[in-house]
């Protein structure tokens, strides 16, 4: 309790306790809060500094990527014990590992000796994780099995040197992890999404191919770009706009953990002949695009689904992982069909990559401003509200737990 007459901290001062005090970041939080509380029909883009400021980025890494559920990839892509997928963030290196009992555990990739990285970057398969630096050996569950010569150090305790593990959920076939032991489970907040996409059978789809790249843009630039199609007419004039016109997009009300919009195709277009009645006909003639906060976008198109996971590795650099999902067997898994689909997706991604890099350069300009949003960018406005709620919550203004110091959590189901 403060002593009589002692100055009391303002709300924003409490919010900034976990980080070095930064007036610029405080002003950005104020601007974010103001924009997020505006009516949707008066929505504005985020202040440019939200995409360029180092202190604001540090706050995001702590309160979003240190507390929220983050997607790593697909459970079906690591079917056998020792199979693993890795994820790089600006403040964390983790891997999802198929265990010998069939479950999936998300572990730190950082050796507990002198911080070399374990596993194969991107993904691979192994029987044991062997540190490439000094040959420390770990079991698939992160237990330390061997550490050459360390028995000569009386302070060494094998049980203290296992790899940290994190809470894990598999939702509709996607592997998520969370570094915050106090975070609410993922699945309940996405119940509406699961119901909306039930007919697509996401959990049963298989991976046709995966693309990875690094974009020279803030992660929010990339995420916002992927969950709005107002940019089709500008960025994709010949690849997407002729088939999915910008002005046909329809934004629907999202939820606490997602945004959603639908883009009908032009008359006569269908991804495939419909055989399941009116509902399947509509499903085959539209894009259903869902942004799952904070950094996953699903694009459902007929019987195929593409997913986009955005991992910030710096303020203006984002690693993206894009997967193409198809039903098992059949025409969608055919090699020539996959090659065609891959070529189309690579073209679209190339266009988005260049556009997002240009936007990032603009955001760094001294004359950049927060402009008004179109009704077709409702998804962007809803994302701003999510950011404001997560980044300015006094109730959770305590520092997030370190990704390197989380107590072990039980593995998830795969």
Q: Over the stretch 369-399, which tens digit does the pLDDT of each residue have?
A: 999 999 999 999 999 999 999 998 744 434 4
- How far, in Å, CA of 70 to CA of 397, rounded? 20
Neighbours of 27 (CB within 10 A): 15
| DSSP helix/strand/coil, 13 | helix
Which ranges of the chain have pLDDT less than 70?
1-22, 273-281, 394-414
Neighbours of 317 (CB within 10 A): 16
Residue 231: CA count within 13 A, CB half-sphere? 18
| DSSP helix/strand/coil, 47 | coil
- How far, in Å, CA of 281 to CA of 72, rounded? 32
- How far, in Å, CA of 334 to CA of 242, rounded? 26
Residue appearing with tokens 């709620």: 389
Q: Measured between alpha carbons, how far is residue 228 from residues 221, 288, 347, 397 in Å?
A: 11, 11, 18, 31
pLDDT at 59: 95
Verify cis geometry, omega within 30 degrees of 0, for the bond prior to 294.
yes
Residue appearing with tokens 């195709």: 265
| DSSP helix/strand/coil, 168 | strand
* Side-by-side strand order, sheet with 165-171: 70-74, 174-178, 165-171, 104-108, 92-98, 83-89, 123-125
CA quadruple 72, 77, 79, 83: dihedral sign: negative
Dihedral of the alpha carbons of 40, 215, 49, 90, in degrees to the nearest 10: 110
Domains of the chain: 70-171 (2.102.10.10), 191-390 (3.90.380.10)
User: What does DSSP assign to residue 367?
Assistant: T
pLDDT at 241: 95
Q: What digits encode the pLDDT tens for the residues 315-343? A: 999 999 999 999 987 777 788 899 999 99
Per-residue b or e along 120-151, where b marks 16 or more CB atoms closer than 10 Å to that residue's CB: eeebeebeebbbeeeebebbbbbebeebeebe
* Residue 174: its H or E element: strand 174-178
Q: What is the CA radius of gyration of the chain?
A: 23
Query: Taking the model in full, what pTM does it have?
Result: 0.89
Angle between helices 219-226 and 335-363 (to 10 degrees): 130
User: What does DSSP assign to residue 293?
Assistant: T
> Which DSSP string do the residues of 145-159 spell out, in sequence order?
EE-TTGGG-TT--GG
Determine what percent of the chain falls in helix, strand and coil, rounding each to the nearest 5.
30, 25, 40
* Closest C-alpha among 120, 62, 129, 56 to residue 91: 62
- How far, in Å, CA of 224 to CA of 265, rounded? 21
Beta-strand ranges (E) seen in 265-400 are: 286-292, 296-301, 304-314, 317-326
Residue 318 forms beta bridges with which residues? 215, 312
- How far, in Å, CA of 33 to CA of 39, rounded? 12
Residue appearing with tokens 């046709």: 208
- How far, in Å, CA of 290 to CA of 297, rounded? 6
- How far, in Å, CA of 79 to CA of 98, rounded? 7
């Amino acid at each position: 309790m403060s002593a009589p007459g002692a100055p009391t901290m303002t709300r924003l001062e409490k919010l900034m306790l976990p980080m070095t005090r930064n007036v610029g970041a405080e002003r950005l939080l104020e601007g974010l809060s103001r924009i997020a509380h505006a009516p949707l029909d008066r929505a504005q883009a985020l202040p440019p500094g939200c995409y360029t400021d180092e202190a604001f980025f540090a706050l995001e890494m702590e309160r979003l990527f240190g507390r929220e559920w983050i997607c790593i990839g697909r459970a079906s892509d690591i079917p056998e014990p020792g199979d693993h997928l890795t994820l790089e963030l600006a403040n964390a290196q983790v891997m999802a590992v198929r265990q010998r009992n069939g479950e999936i555990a998300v572990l730190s990739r950082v050796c507990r000796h002198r911080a070399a990285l374990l596993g194969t970057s991107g993904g691979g398969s192994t029987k044991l994780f062997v540190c490439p630096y000094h040959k420390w050996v770990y079991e698939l569950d992160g237990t330390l099995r061997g550490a050459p010569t360390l028995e000569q150090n009386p302070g060494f305790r094998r049980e203290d040197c296992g790899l940290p593990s994190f809470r894990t959920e598999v939702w509709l076939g996607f592997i998520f992890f969370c570094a915050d032991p106090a975070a609410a489970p993922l699945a309940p907040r996405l119940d509406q999404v699961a119901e909306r996409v039930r007919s697509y059978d996401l959990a049963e789809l298989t991976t046709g191919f995966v693309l990875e790249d690094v974009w020279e843009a803030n992660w929010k630039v990339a995420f916002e770009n992927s969950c709005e199609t107002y940019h089709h007419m500008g960025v994709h004039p010949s690849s997407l706009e002729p088939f999915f016109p910008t002005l046909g997009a329809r934004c629907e009300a999202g939820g606490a953990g997602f945004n959603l919009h639908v883009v009908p195709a032009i008359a006569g277009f269908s991804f495939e002949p419909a055989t399941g009645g009116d509902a399947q006909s509509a499903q085959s003639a539209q894009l259903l695009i869902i942004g799952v906060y904070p950094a996953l976008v699903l694009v459902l198109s007929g019987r195929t689904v593409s997913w986009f996971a955005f991992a910030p590795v710096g303020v203006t650099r984002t690693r993206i992982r894009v997967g193409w999902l198809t039903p098992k067997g059949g025409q969608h898994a055919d090699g020539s069909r996959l090659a065609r689909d891959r070529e189309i997706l690579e073209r679209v991604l190339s266009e988005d990559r260049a556009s997002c890099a240009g936007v990032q350069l603009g955001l760094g300009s001294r004359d950049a401003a927060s402009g008004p949003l179109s009704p077709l960018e409702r998804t962007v406005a809803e994302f701003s509200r999510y950011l404001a709620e997560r980044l300015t919550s006094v109730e959770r203004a305590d520092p997030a737990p370190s990704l390197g110091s989380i107590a072990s959590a039980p593995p998830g189901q795969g």
